Amino acid sequence: MNEEAAYLVVEQGPYLHQQYLLNQPAVVIGRGPNNDIVFVDAEVSRQHTRILWEETQGYTLQDLGSTNGTFVNGRRISGTVPLQDGDRVNLGESITLAFHLPQSGTLDEDDTPTGELVVPPPPVHEPVQQPDYAAASPPAAPAQPAYVPPQPPAYTPPVAEHVPAADAPPSRRRFHPALIGCGVVLLLVVLCIATLFFLDAYQNGRLLYCGGLRPFWETILGPFGFAPLCG
């Protein structure tokens, strides 16, 4: 290991302006508590990157498969790249570190690293005070509408079906007694006249008649052998 080690200065992120002396052949940086330099930040992986020192190559930077990447001077690296004095190393988007070699002479006497890795204590998370929900009064329940009983349906009287009246039996024809009496009298008169006619016109067994009704009497009396004669 070289007698005078390089160091890192935090330019962005937690522990601003904090300096870390690289006095080991391998310095691992990450979020896990077992790393050499710890940054408790969501952008930093558990084991994010590693800085190596070799006599032949000097200081090199190696990404350890981080999620948000390791950048040198704005370029994302993969594998191992050499580090030069004044390079800017970014861990994701929230951490920026400045790399300095010991002979750069950029440090003041008061800023000279102590030669040991300075691991800052993990940040103390203050408990978040929960709001007092008990003081808040519950929202008033909405007013319920007054109950209105359902109205019964209006009564509609049933409509009587029209049933046609049965046909009255035909009344028997009734003849007036006066008409019947007149008919009987007329019949008797006719019989009397006919009797007188026959008695007057009857001679020797033959009916003598030459009037206008002779054809009628021939039709009526002919079948019985009493057809009138005109003589």
Confidence of residue 90 (pLDDT cuts 50, 70, 90): very high
pLDDT of 182 reads 82
pLDDT exceeds 60 at position 36 = yes
pLDDT exceeds 60 at position 92 = yes
Look up the CATH number of the domain holding residue 44: 2.60.200.20
Please, what sign has the CA dihedral across residues 70, 98, 6, 38?
Answer: negative
- Whether 162 is covered by a domain: the verdict is no
pLDDT exceeds 90 at position 105 = no
- Whether 33 is covered by a domain: the verdict is yes
Through-space distance between the first and last CA atoms of the chain, rounded to whole angstroms: 195
Domain boundary among the residues 66, 93, 111 is at 111
DSSP calls for 99-111? EE-GGG----GGG
pLDDT of 91 reads 97
Lowest mean pLDDT among 22-26, 119-123, 142-146, 213-217: 119-123
> How large is the greatest C-alpha to C-alpha distance in the chain, in angstroms?
201
For residue 113, give the nearest of 13, 5, 27 by alpha carbon.
5
Domain boundary among the residues 61, 85, 111 is at 111
Residues 106 and 182 in one domain: no
Whether the model clears a pTM of 0.75, i.e. scores above it, the answer is no
- Structural domain including 196 reads 177-224
pLDDT exceeds 50 at position 56 = yes
Domain boundary among the residues 111, 137, 158 is at 111
pLDDT exceeds 90 at position 42 = yes
Q: Which whole number is the average pLDDT over 141-166?
A: 64
Distances (CA, A) of 158 to 34, 151, 155: 97, 20, 9
pLDDT of 181 reads 80
- Percentage, residues of the chain above pLDDT 70: 49
Q: Which whole number is the average pLDDT over 140-149?
A: 65
- Whether 60 is covered by a domain: the verdict is yes
- Whether 200 is covered by a domain: the verdict is yes
- Whether 46 is covered by a domain: the verdict is yes
- Whether 161 is covered by a domain: the verdict is no
pLDDT of 165 reads 58
Give the bridge partners for 71, in sequence order. 76, 90
Residue with more model confidence, 109 or 159: 159
Total domain count, the chain = 2
pLDDT digits (tens, 9 = 90+) for 178-220: 778 888 877 776 665 666 565 555 555 566 656 666 677 677 6
Of all helices (H) and strands (E), which one includes residue 190? helix 177-201
pLDDT of 34 reads 95
Token pair belonging to 68: 């948000």
Query: Is 95 exposed, middle or buried, given 0-12, 13-18 or 19+ CB atoms closer than 10 A?
Result: buried
pLDDT exceeds 50 at position 22 = yes
Residues 95 and 17 in one domain: yes
Residues 11 and 105 in one domain: yes
Q: What letter would DSSP give residue 27?
A: E
- Whether 230 is covered by a domain: the verdict is no
Residue with more model confidence, 195 or 151: 151
- Whether 168 is covered by a domain: the verdict is no
pLDDT exceeds 90 at position 63 = yes
Kindly report the average pLDDT of the chain as a whole number.
76
